[in-house]
A and B are shown apart, each in its own frame.
Chain A
Amino acid sequence: KAGVTQTPRYLIKTRGQQVTLSCSPISGHRSVSWYQQTPGQGLQFLFEYFSETQRNKGNFPGRFSGRQFSNSRSEMNVSTLELGDSALYLCASSVGGANEKLFFGSGTQLSVL
């Protein structure tokens, strides 16, 4: 069974640009969550999608948005990039029920210059 696939693996952008990251969950998984990991803040929850609906959202500004498609694939978008957005962005998938294990993708390393 294929794991969670994230593309691209690395991205370099400049301040003010926008970026879209992609995540394909494990087959059969309907929940996709996004996390930001930085050395200073650790792993922080961005949002979760289930059946194309945002089910939960963390404390990030509106510049961070996402969506989920009917095949459960998800995209995350960051607009008007800031230097502080440089981070590893991780996608995790699960079947979607309560108290379930999350399986992470390899992440997208975003550098904002």
Chain B
Amino acid sequence: QKEVEQNSGPLSVPEGAIASLNCTYSDRVSQSFFWYRQYSGKSPELIMSIYSNGDKEDGRFTAQLNKASQYVSLLIRDSQPSDSATYLCAALGGSARQLTFGSGTQLTVLP
């Protein structure tokens, strides 16, 4: 069983809509969570980090964390075609100092 699971894609939303990306994790000792965006042929780019339960907003992006449910999500408001990319959820913590990534969700924002 993969330790970080992301909702299967691909996901398509129209321009201006809200894109919702979800992630669950199995390791209860995970403490920090990150969302990376990866454009085709490029390396992952950090867009959000979240450490505490609740919401964290940064511009059009909102990350949500629920440690009791072991659930992390990313909302992208007013989606733009430039948001089209693969979004990777990652968890950090426990005895191993390593990021565990989900398989990614491919998002396409349609003009």
For residue A111, CB closer than 8 A to chain B, the reply is no
Encoded as 1 (CB less than 8 Å from any B CB) or 0, chain A from 44 to 81 comes to 11001000000110100000000000000000000000
- A33–B97 CA distance with the chains assembled, in angstroms: 10
Which residue of A is nearest B6, CB measured?
A: A42
- A21–B99 CA distance with the chains assembled, in angstroms: 21
Which residue of A is nearest B4, CB measured?
A: A42
Q: How far is the CB of B87 from chain A (nearest CB, A)?
A: 13
For residue A101, CB closer than 8 A to chain B, the reply is yes
Q: How far is the CB of B92 from chain A (nearest CB, A)?
A: 6
A43 touches B101 (CB 8 A): yes
- A105–B46 CA distance with the chains assembled, in angstroms: 11
Interface of A is mostly: strand
B43 touches A105 (CB 8 A): yes
Chain B residues within an 8 Å CB radius of A42: 101-104
Q: How far is the CB of A41 from chain B (nearest CB, A)?
A: 9
For residue B44, CB closer than 8 A to chain A, the reply is yes
- A43–B92 CA distance with the chains assembled, in angstroms: 14
> Which range holds the interface residue count of chain A?
20 to 34
A90 touches B44 (CB 8 A): yes
Encoded as 1 (CB less than 8 Å from any B CB) or 0, chain A from 75 to 113 comes to 000000000000010101000001101111111000000
Given the known inter-chain contacts A90-B43, A99-B32, A107-B43, please indicate yes or no for A58 contacting B98, CB distance below 8 A. yes
Given the known inter-chain contacts A42-B101, A42-B104, please indicate yes or no for A101 contacting B45, CB distance below 8 A. no
Which residue of B is nearest A56, CB measured?
A: B97
B98 touches A106 (CB 8 A): no
Given the known inter-chain contacts A42-B102, A99-B31, A99-B32, please indicate yes or no for A55 contacting B46, CB distance below 8 A. no
- A69–B102 CA distance with the chains assembled, in angstroms: 31
Binding site for B on A (CB under 8 A): 33, 35, 42-45, 48, 55-56, 58, 88, 90, 92, 98-99, 101-107
Binding site for A on B (CB under 8 A): 31-32, 34, 36, 42-46, 49, 51, 88, 90, 92-93, 96-104
